[in-house]
A and B are shown apart, each in its own frame.
Chain A
Amino acid sequence: MKRGQPMANQQQPAGVTWLEGRTLRCWGAWTMPDVAPVERALRGMVWPARSVLVFEASGIEAFDTGGAVVLYRALMEARRQGCEVSIEGLRSDYAQLMSLVSSNWAAMVAEVAPRSNGSERLKTAIGNHLVRMIRGLEFLGESATALVRLVAAPRRMRWRSCLNSLRLDGVNALPITGLLTFLIGVVIAYQGAEQLRKFGTNIFIVDLVGISLLREIAPLIAAILIAGRSGSAYAAQIGTMKVTEELDALQTFGLSPIELLVLPRVLALVVALPLLTAYADVLGVFGGMLIASNQLNVSFSAFLSRFEEAVALRHMLIGLGKAPFFAVIIALVGCYQGFQIRGGVDDVGRHTTISVVQSIFLVIIFDAICSILLNWWSL
Chain B
Amino acid sequence: MRKISWVIICVGFFLGLLAFGGTALAADPIKVGIVDSYSGPPSTYTNDVKDGFKLAIDKINAGGGVLGRQITFVTRDDKFKVDLGLSAAKELVMREKVDLLMGTINSAVALAISDFAKKEKVPFLATYSKTANLTGSKGHKYVFSMNENTEMAGKAAAVGLAKLPYVNYWIAGDDYEYGHAIADGVWNNLKKLKPDVKLLGQSWWKVGEPDFTPYITSILSAKPDAVIIATGGAGCVPFLKAAKATGFNEKSPFFMHTSTELSTLRPLGVDAPEGVIGTSNYYFYFPETPENKAFVEEFQKAYGRYPSFGSLIGWFTGQFIAKAYEKAGKVDPEKFAEALSGMTIDSPIGKLTIRAEDNQVMLPMFMGKTKKKDGFDFLIATDIVTIPAADLMPLVEDIKKAREKEK
The yes or no verdict on A and B being binding partners is: no
